[in-house]
């Protein structure tokens, strides 16, 4: 997962077609309208760290709508959310102001494996070990 410090200007990164989706948007309607076609990056908003609707949106974008581009978390993104964001389908995150990017990266070293399946590896641990 790409972690972007809030002091960095994420707008300077090149993404020709970026779509910002509110966390109360109807993804089915967007997909039916063709709004996801040709999009390279989708930015999902976390207005507060306690609002987790963007997790569901990321999961739906990956599994149901087969979106293969960058899904970026923006807003009130804290360190302890990053691992779950990555497992839900996010590929990048802009940290909230005052959050240390180095400490954020250490979260991924701390949690290297999971028993449950997720977007990255849908099989649970026992099925992976049996294969």
Q: What is the CATH number of domain 2-130?
A: 3.40.50
pLDDT (0 to 100) of residue 6 = 83
Whole-number percent of the chain with pLDDT over 70? 94
Q: For residues 44 and 23, what is the distance between their CA atoms, to the nearest angstrom?
A: 7
Residue 13: pLDDT band with limits 50, 70, 90: low
What are 39-66's pLDDT values in tens digits? 999 999 999 989 999 999 999 999 999 9
Residue 9: pLDDT band with limits 50, 70, 90: low
Bridge partners for 94 per DSSP = 4
pLDDT (0 to 100) of residue 117 = 87
Report CA torsion sign: 67, 71, 76, 77. Answer: positive
Give the largest CA-CA distance in the chain.
45
Number of CB atoms found within 10 A of residue 95's CB: 24
Long-range CB pairs of 100-108 (<8 Å, 24+ gap) are 101/3, 101/4, 101/5, 103/79, 104/3, 104/79, 105/3, 107/79, 107/80, 107/82, 107/83, 108/1, 108/82, 108/83
- Sketch the domain layout of the chain as residue ranges: 2-130
């Amino acid at each position: 997962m790409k972690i972007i410090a809030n002091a960095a200007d994420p707008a300077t990164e090149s993404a020709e077609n970026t779509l910002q989706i509110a966390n109360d948007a109807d993804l089915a309607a967007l997909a039916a309208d063709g709004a996801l076609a040709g999009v390279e990056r989708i930015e999902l908003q976390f207005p507060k760290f306690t609002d987790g609707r963007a997790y569901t949106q990321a999961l739906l974008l990956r599994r149901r709508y087969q979106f293969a581009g960058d899904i970026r978390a923006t807003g009130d993104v804290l360190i302890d959310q990053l691992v779950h964001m990555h497992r839900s389908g996010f590929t990048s995150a802009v940290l909230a102001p005052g959050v240390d990017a180095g400490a954020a990266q250490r979260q991924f070293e701390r949690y290297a494996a999971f028993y449950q399946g997720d977007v990255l590896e849908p099989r649970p641990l026992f099925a992976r070990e049996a294969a």
